Structure 1
Amino acid sequence: MEEDRRHWWFRGRLAVLLAVLRRALPPRRVRLLELGCGTGNVLGALGGLGEAVGMEAHPELVAAARAAGLDVRPGRLPDDLPVPDGWAEVVLLLDVLEHLDDDAAGLATARRALAPGGLLVVTVPAYRWLWSGHDVALGHRRRYTARALARRVRAEGFAVERVSYFNTLLFPAVAAVRAWKRLLGDRAHDLARPAEPLNRALARVFALERHLVPRLALPFGSSLLLLARR
């Protein structure tokens, strides 16, 4: 599904992610690779941090990203890699692992792409008990806990630096919506953009976490963020 970069969730996640990267990366331009980059909502912002390359499996999304002037190359995890082994100083898997039949193989490909000491950035949906029609509609295979995600990443040879839940401030509302959807048997996703005043308010609340997640491991939330080193 093509993301709507104006949707509050994408806007909030991007704000959190950029704050985390600015704190974690050295004060110079770096080589970044986003695997499963969609239309380039994040990739376009990564250009401010260095040379950013994306890989995307769906031809229509590749075309849209390239039309926006982004360096996006076709390929599908875990089989493809659009750069030489060891090229990237940062590899991002942003809400990608949950779509893969074999998440370990996807992580192994990401490790191949990273230079020694390079940074892996992963986001995934949290908590199996939040499973709903939203996950079915988006093609998810699983949701994760912090412990399970860290264990999976370590098993592929990474040194995990930190794990935090996020989308914490809005978590009660998200959990309530998912419970209601399960009760109704609703199998639609939650990514239809609400009316703009509400959309803008939700984006602002979510984006407040950019002040928290880079410094704190939040104890709960609807998503997880993990940083690890090769």
Structure 2
Amino acid sequence: MEHYTYHILYQVEETHWWFVGRRSLILDQIARYYQGQKNLVMLDIGCGCGIFMTHLTPYGKIVGMDSSADALCFCQQRRLSHLVQGDAEMLPFFPNSFDLLTANDLLEHLDDDITSLHGFFSLLKPGGRLFVFVPAYQFLWSLQDEISHHKRRYTKRRLTHVIESAGFTIEQVTYANTLLFPVIWVGRQMLKIVRRFRDVQTENTLHPQWSNRVLKRIFCLERPLLRRLSLPFGVSLLAVCRKPL
């Protein structure tokens, strides 16, 4: 990501509707499988500024890895200590080391997502799970993809293919951020026009402050839906993957 992006991320990710909604959906999926467990060994690959790690600490030991020294400095400001600077395409860990992996908005950054997923597979103990969150649909490509240095956005078919190619069994793959899809699509079309007339550094601060609570509530409404079904379209994709025993 651009250097300045981590500072913006650290400032907004605790309260911004998109980050709160994403965390809510992924953490709810993790709780479905691991509620009450306290001795897991976990790895957050591409941990960013560490906000997601703070929510995983009740489940056991959480290690955060990111390629950016800036990101890890912000993790330290959150008093997180198990941190590794490393490349998701050359993982510096022993095989069969972790019960749970998370890769939140990571695969789209990688040159070779299938090879990287093979690496994730090797790190998991048999029966361990990987939780993946990625952006959906190339036609939604926007400013945030550019400044985050994304390589691609995914369809459900593409994500299923790369995960299964790495040896995982998929327990669920679903679109997410479906209810706000029309709003986001319109917003990104308008942003294309705005950028012709002025410089914009991030999408995270473009919505009016009063709307944050409303958007957050709408996004989080999908949490109970995803416990029961897979959504047919959305701004993102969420997958739960298991390494066979």
TM-score category by the smaller chain? over 0.9
Shift of 1:170: 0.7
Is residue 101 from structure 1 mapped to residue 101 from structure 2 by the alignment? no
* 1:95-144 CA distance string (max 9 Å, x none): 00001111112212211210011101110000111112331122111000
Output the CA distance in 1 between the equivalents of 2:75 and 2:17: 20
Letter matched to residue 91 of structure 1? L
- Matched residue, 2:85: 74
- Matched residue, 2:223: 210
SS in 2 for 1:48: helix
Letter matched to residue 79 of structure 1? M
| Root mean square deviation, CA, Å | 1.7
4+ residue segments displaced more than 3 Å: 182-189, 193-196
- TM-score when scaled to structure 1? 0.93
Bigger fraction of residues in helix: 2
Is residue 47 from structure 1 mapped to residue 57 from structure 2 by the alignment? yes
Shift of 1:18: 1.1
Aligned mate of 2:23, from 6, 14, 25: 14
- TM-score when scaled to structure 2? 0.87
Is residue 117 from structure 1 mapped to residue 127 from structure 2 by the alignment? yes
- Matched residue, 1:165: 175
* 1:1-24 CA distance string (max 9 Å, x none): 222212110011111111111112
Shift of 1:208: 1.6
Letter matched to residue 84 of structure 2? R
Go from structure 1 to structure 2 and tell me whether the alpha carbon gap of 1:56 and 1:111 turns closer, same or farther (over 3 Å shift).
Answer: same
Is the 1:168–1:221 contact (alpha carbons within 8 Å) kept by the matching residues of 2? Answer: yes
Is the 1:7–1:193 contact (alpha carbons within 8 Å) kept by the matching residues of 2? Answer: no
Output the CA distance in 2 between the equivalents of 1:59 and 1:134: 21
- Matched residue, 2:156: 146
* 1:187-227 CA distance string (max 9 Å, x none): 75422264432112211211121111222101111000011
**Alignment length, in residue pairs?**
229
Choose 98-107 or 129-138, whichever is displaced more. Answer: 129-138
User: Which runs of 5 or more residues in structure 1 are unaligned?
Assistant: none
- Matched residue, 1:229: 242
Output the CA distance in 1 between the equivalents of 2:234 and 2:162: 19
Letter matched to residue 96 of structure 1? L
Letter matched to residue 21 of structure 1? I
SS in 1 for 2:100: strand
- Matched residue, 1:190: 203
